[in-house]
Chain A
Amino acid sequence: MIEVIGAGAQMTLQGAALSGYRHLGFPASGAADPLSMALANHLVGQKATQTALEITYGNASIRFSVPTQFAVVGASADLLLDKETTQANTTITADANSVLTIGPTQAGARLYVAVNGTLQANHYLNTHSTYLPAKLGGHKGRRLEQGDKIGFKTSESVPHKVLSEDITFVYGNSFALRATDGPDLRIADRDMMYGESFQVSRRASRMGVGLSGNYPLSQTAKTLPSSAVFPGTLQAPSEGEGFLLLADAQTTGGYPHLLQVNRSDRHLLGQLKPGDRVQFLHRTPEQAANDLIEKQRLFAQYMADFRL
């Protein structure tokens, strides 16, 4: 069993993203940064989408009731196992009743704690991820709270691993996200959108983040007939700031769709926090596909089952 001693800003169980249900209105859900979760799982010998803890902004702690191999990957934060400093990006063995304490995140927004075993989580459709608005999946469909006990079945020990440097991310406070024109971006406005340095506003959640900055006047405060949107969609401002969609965002929308963050960089969306700067780098669909294949190849060396 894993006991939550402090849940921080938001702690949920996450696993695989849903696929093939958007036409019924179901968002992808799953880890906001699926790459970090996959790497954490890799370090404890689990599949890329094995249920893990998603912890937002740190300031959390958990107790392992039995000896447990675990790994932490994602936003940087001070880590203590009982009173000793411990490391992210590597397999760690916790003794029975030891406590992992995670300090406030310094750069990046979310970190993932994966364990060598199976965390008990509710199931819906084809995932164990948590979809909070409809109380589905995860730990009783809700965020974890102090005192919660998560059922946990350990697996056989796995060899100790350290993430190789080429797949270790270090986040800062500014992000350059590769993106392709959205269907509602006018040619005349392209330079403006790709030249602007946006700032993440305080409106930040698993649904998406607000991005303040200069937007083309022609596209503000406009509504269009609803069309499909996806994680990575940047919608034109309705109230002075654009909205960049994340894993739990709605599946259709009527605001102008200006940019679409590419598959290769969508995992970074889960690391954006208020105050961070964001710039978009233009890629054509063909360039984006090549970027994806290249990046995918890098991770496939270590995780055969992971897909960006």
Chain B
Amino acid sequence: MTNISLLGDDCLRVNIEERENRHSVADHLRATDDWSEIVVGKHDITVQYEPYRTSPNDALLRLEKQLAQYSPLQKSPGTIFKIPVSLSDNDAPDLLRVAQYLEIASTALWDQLASLTLTIDMLGFTPGFAYMTGLPEAWEIERLESPRQSVPAGSIGIITGQCGLYALEGPGGWPIIGRALVPLFNRDASDSPLLYGANDRIRFLPKEREND
């Protein structure tokens, strides 16, 4: 795990292939309070330091030392959140179309999705957006041709290999097939504003589909 590089003038990046390791290493680094930002990517962790306090070389040595101190035994399993979901036409504008494309009924799509435990791979793209893995491999779904300027908070998006949770309203380029019925974001909870974190797991509980 010693593949560390300087990134720009105030960051360091370390490559970590294994997802569980990435998140628990990030937690371990967060506990040191030495880094102003710690962001997990698909294959790496990037940390930001303050160059007027720490030289690039000192930052690199410090990160090396902290990574060496990390022990996989500290790994804690993510929490499982069960999220009730609305499938109304308003809340799931692309559900029928996606189901048609997959050549299954929309009820079958959600039956299958609800039976899965999805894992949050990383957060990014937009505030609170969670990229989740665990979808059936056979499902090949494309992004929208024109992304929406604004999708409602709680929207659930889906593309090949990834399910996305839009915790806040904002732009969205993935087909929307449902919407969480509980708030995922609390703007006043500065300590933990999101219901979930990276490496947590999600199970969806679709409510009876009601016609609007």
Q: A residues touching B (Cβ–Cβ < 8 Å)?
A: 19-27, 123-126, 131, 133-136, 179-180, 182-183, 225-228, 230, 232-233, 250-252, 260, 262-264, 283, 285-286, 288-289, 292-293, 296, 307
How far is B188's CA from A126's CA once the two chains are assembled, in angstroms? 8
Check if B140 is an interface residue, CB within 8 A of chain A. Answer: no
- 20 A-B contact pairs sorted by A residue (CB < 8 Å): A23-B198, A26-B128, A124-B187, A124-B188, A133-B150, A183-B5, A225-B43, A226-B41, A226-B122, A227-B13, A227-B41, A228-B39, A228-B124, A230-B8, A250-B125, A250-B126, A283-B9, A285-B6, A285-B51, A289-B56
Chain B residues near A263 (CB, 8 Å)? Answer: 9-10, 51
Interface contacts (Cβ under 8 Å), in number, total 138
How far is B4's CA from A224's CA once the two chains are assembled, in angstroms? 18
**Contact call A260/B9, Cβ cutoff below 8 A:** yes
Q: B residues touching A (Cβ–Cβ < 8 Å)?
A: 5-11, 13, 26, 36-44, 46, 48, 50-52, 55-57, 122-129, 150, 168-171, 187-188, 190, 193-194, 197-198
Chain A residue nearest to B121 in the complex (CB)? A226
**Contact call B9/A289, Cβ cutoff below 8 A:** yes
Chain A residues near B37 (CB, 8 Å)? Answer: 19-20, 22-23, 228
Chain B residue nearest to A136 in the complex (CB)? B187
Chain B residues near A292 (CB, 8 Å)? Answer: 9, 51-52
Chain A residues near B150 (CB, 8 Å)? Answer: 133
**Contact call A125/B52, Cβ cutoff below 8 A:** no
CB distance from B4 to the nearest CB of A (A): 12
CB distance from B47 to the nearest CB of A (A): 9
Q: Which 8 A-B pairs have the closest CB atoms?
A: A260-B8, A252-B124, A288-B9, A225-B42, A228-B39, A227-B41, A228-B46, A285-B56
For A131, A133, A135, the residue with the greatest tally of chain B CB atoms inside 10 Å of its CB is A133
How far is B39's CA from A5's CA once the two chains are assembled, in angstroms? 42
